[in-house]
Amino acid sequence: MPVDFRTRRESLRRLLSERELDAILVTDLLNIRYLTGFTGSNAALVVSASDSASDERETVICTDGRYVTQVAEQVPDLRAEIARSSAAHLIEKSTAPVLAFESHVATFAEHRAWTEAAPKIRFEPVSGLVEQLRMVKDEHEVELLRAACTAADVALAQLITRGGLRPGRTEREVGRELENLMLDNGADGISFETIVAAGANSAIPHHRPTDAILASGDFVKLDFGAQVGGYHSDMTRTYVLESVSDWQREIYELVARSQAAGCDALAPGVECAAVDAVARAVIDDAGYGELFLHGLGHGVGLEIHEAPGIGKLGTGTLLSGAAVTVEPGVYFSGRGGVRIEDTLVVREQGPELLTLTAKDLTVV
């Protein structure tokens, strides 16, 4: 399925027109990738509000000499210019009276240099304009997310089938094997450093793997993801090694109910904070609310954490096509904890689950 970058840029132009902006200077490399397909390490892009999808004469990308061939191949539908200082070059060439810039990306020193070099341009700071578009995934993006989730699902199944999750191994050994299996199953890379947290370490939400040895009766929390075509998956599963105690069963089933409630609440138009509240109420009502230490979830796509945020302080409402995680957890310091997480796409007919590994309490 080909990517329609022209339509993405046309959507950005509509946002510019609504704000009465002549053009925008895009310097965030992920936003440039989203709008053009360019994946080099140095680039800037000016999108003109006066252009149209069929006539983009004022919309131009700039990169340096290392990427002459790459920009021609990846961005054949835009004029490309070559200069070492991409943003400065485009500003020098710009005729826009009002030029928006990504104020959450540009440094103070960069902004000062731009204003000194182009005193006739009024630089208008904007934040999150392209990210606003990125919240809603098109079907090409969903396919990449689905592929990333599949790579993670298959890798986890293989890890367990071959006995990779067993007493006597270290957290680091398990994490490295899981990461290698994701690469073996089609991932271009990993989404983030894999979390393997065993025993008391499972009570640390973002524990980094150590040489701690897995033991019988441990909770083992695995939080990991694969990256395919620049898009990330994110999944957490918590297992018990060899034998399960009553308290482990109670807490696991509680988190599973909370996670199911959060997933069921995903729908277009629902407030992000309200989704968090539905899932959090399950844990609050059981008396463990103070042990749910983080927000319920976040957007996922070209970044592992992107808009929207789903938490107590989350703002805005869910949009159809948003890709999000739902990941409640309960953590007993010094004893152990449980988190269950999926990646899903918000749909009109109900959320689409992309991470398909079973979530029943599993003793391995």
What is the rounded CA–CA span in Å between residue 179 and residue 195? 10
What is the rounded CA–CA span in Å between residue 197 and residue 214? 9
What is the rounded CA–CA span in Å between residue 262 and residue 75? 40
Write down the pTM of the prediction.
0.95
- Does the pLDDT of residue 167 top 90, yes or no? yes
- Does the pLDDT of residue 217 top 70, yes or no? yes
Query: Could you tell me the CA-to-CA distances from 186 to 162, 227, 229 in Å, in that order?
Result: 19, 9, 10
Strands 79-82 and 342-345: unpaired
Structure confidence at residue 279 as a pLDDT band (50, 70, 90): very high
Predicted confidence at residue 94, as pLDDT, reads: 92
Span 36-49, mean pLDDT? 97
Predicted confidence at residue 89, as pLDDT, reads: 95
What is the rounded CA–CA span in Å between residue 285 and residue 296? 16
Predicted confidence at residue 2, as pLDDT, reads: 78
- Does the pLDDT of residue 1 top 90, yes or no? no
Span 20-38, mean pLDDT? 97
User: What integer best gives the mean pLDDT of the chain?
Assistant: 97
Structure confidence at residue 256 as a pLDDT band (50, 70, 90): very high
Point out the least confidently predicted range of 88-97, 141-150, 289-298, 337-346. 88-97
Span 34-46, mean pLDDT? 98
Strands 306-310 and 231-232: unpaired
What helix, strand, coil percent values describe the chain, rounded to 5? 35, 25, 40
Structure tokens at 139: 């079907």
Predicted confidence at residue 105, as pLDDT, reads: 96
- Does the pLDDT of residue 321 top 90, yes or no? yes
* Cα Rg of the chain, angstroms: 23
pLDDT in tens, 119-135: 999 999 999 999 999 99
Span 273-299, mean pLDDT? 98
